[in-house]
Structure formats: C-alpha cells, structure tokens
Amino acid sequence: MEDGSGFWIAAVLATFCVGASKGGMPVIAMLGVPMLTLFVAPAAAAGLLLPMYILADVYAIWLFRRDFSPRNLKILIPAAAVGILLAFLCISRVPPEIGKLIVALVGLYYLGDTLRKWLARDHAARPADVPRGLFWGALSGFTSYISHAGGPPYQAYTLPQMMPKMTFVGTQAIVFACINWMKLPPYIVAGQVTWESLQRVAMLAPVALFGAWSGQRLVRWLPERIFYGVVRAALGLLSLRLLWEVAQAWGWL
C-alpha cells in the first residue's frame, strides 16, 4: 500500500465519510472507495475501509440504541445474510461493474417511482412487508459485499415506509453493522483485510468516530423533510456516478 501524503489525506477523508454515514448522513460513505482508489487497488481500498465501517458501526449502534424498527431488523438481516452468501459464491464470476450497475438502476428506479407517486398525489406509507423485505435485503447484502454499495437497495425498501428519521437511521445502522460483520471473514480469507491494513485502522480510528459523532449531530439538527430530501438527492447523485463509472469501465466514455 502507498504511504505518501496523498494516500493519508485520502484515507482521512474516506474514513471521515464512512463515520459520517454511520452517524446518519446518507450515502456519503460511497465516496470512500473512489477516493482511495486514486492510490491503491479497489480491492485493497475496500479491505482497508471495512474495519472502519465496523468500528463506526459499533459507535453508531450505541448512538441509535433507542431508535430502530424491530420488524425491519427481523426481515432485513436474514435476507442480507443470504445475499452475502450468494455474493461470496459468485464473486469470481460477477465483475464489480455489474454490482455497481444493479445499485445504480435500483436507485434510479426508486426515484422514478417516488416522482410518479408524487405526481399522482400518492403519499401513503408502505408497511414493512416480508416479500419485498427479503428481496431488497438480499440485494443489499449482495451489493454491499461486492462494492460496499448496499445503501440504495435498503433505501428502496425503507424510504416508502416513511419512518421517523431517527428510526430510519437507527435501523440502517444496525442492519449494516450486521452486514459488515458477516462480510469480515470472507474478506480476511480473500486477503483484503490484513495485519497491515489493521495497523492503519488503529491510526485512523479517531477520525471514524469523530465522523460518526458529526453525522449524528447533523441528522438530529436537520428537519425531517429536509433530511429525506437530502437522502433522495444523494441517492440520485450516487446512482448517476455509478452509471458513469460503469460506462468508463466498459469503454463507453
């Protein structure tokens, strides 16, 4: 791995983004891997950030220990485990670009459906139902394993429920804490998490915790309507960025 000043600046920024996302700021963690890939291989970047996710997860669970939806946890966590297992079995056959393309299409589908409902004045909340939860939860685990991009499928399922913002964020924190712990053993087997990367984690840990604290404070301050507007805007920008990355990888740009 690189040890120059550029790498460490990118690592600090990426770690802060990971922490802030665990504090409740939507989708910002997705900036982490692209930042680090300027200096290290994508697999090494994902492996370096996974322990950061796990560390920030622990703090996030404590921050949101009273704000979560038990029903969603019961549906999404087992479904995500199935998705992670499928991704582990298929990882050698599925290019990372496929995972990115799936995530981008999911995000754009959700935003298009939201716009359709808004135009039709359909503002009814959808319940946390098992069939949809199993599908979106498994897809979230699958895409999270491949490219740390499980947020859009999770949001496609949970945003229509119109939960209070702190319940939405707390449920997300617990679901992805479980997903990240389940990803750790196969990442170690694949050599993406190493003793060298864990040494860097120890140095960057305070940045992750500060990011989680900052994100949580900002979420509590934001009015609920603005918060969900930010979530949807971030989801749209992320989806477009992923499409751009896929187009570049496949030589379309």
Q: What is the pLDDT along the chain (253 residues), one digit of tens a residue?
A: 556 677 788 788 888 888 887 777 766 666 666 666 667 666 677 777 788 888 888 888 888 888 899 999 999 999 999 999 998 888 767 677 777 787 778 778 877 877 777 776 666 778 889 999 999 999 999 888 877 778 888 888 998 898 998 899 899 989 999 999 999 998 888 777 777 777 777 888 888 888 888 888 888 887 878 877 877 787 787 778 778 888 888 888 7
**Predicted TM-score (pTM) of this structure:** 0.78
Give the span between the Cα atoms of 199 and 69, in whole angstroms: 35
CA-to-CA separations, 195 to 6, 20, 49, 51, 118, in angstroms, rounded: 22, 25, 13, 11, 50
Q: How far apart are the first and last CA of the chain?
A: 29
Closest by CA to 47, choosing from 26, 30, 31, 33, is 33
**What pLDDT was estimated at residue 177?**
92
Q: What is the residue extent of each domain of the chain?
A: 5-249
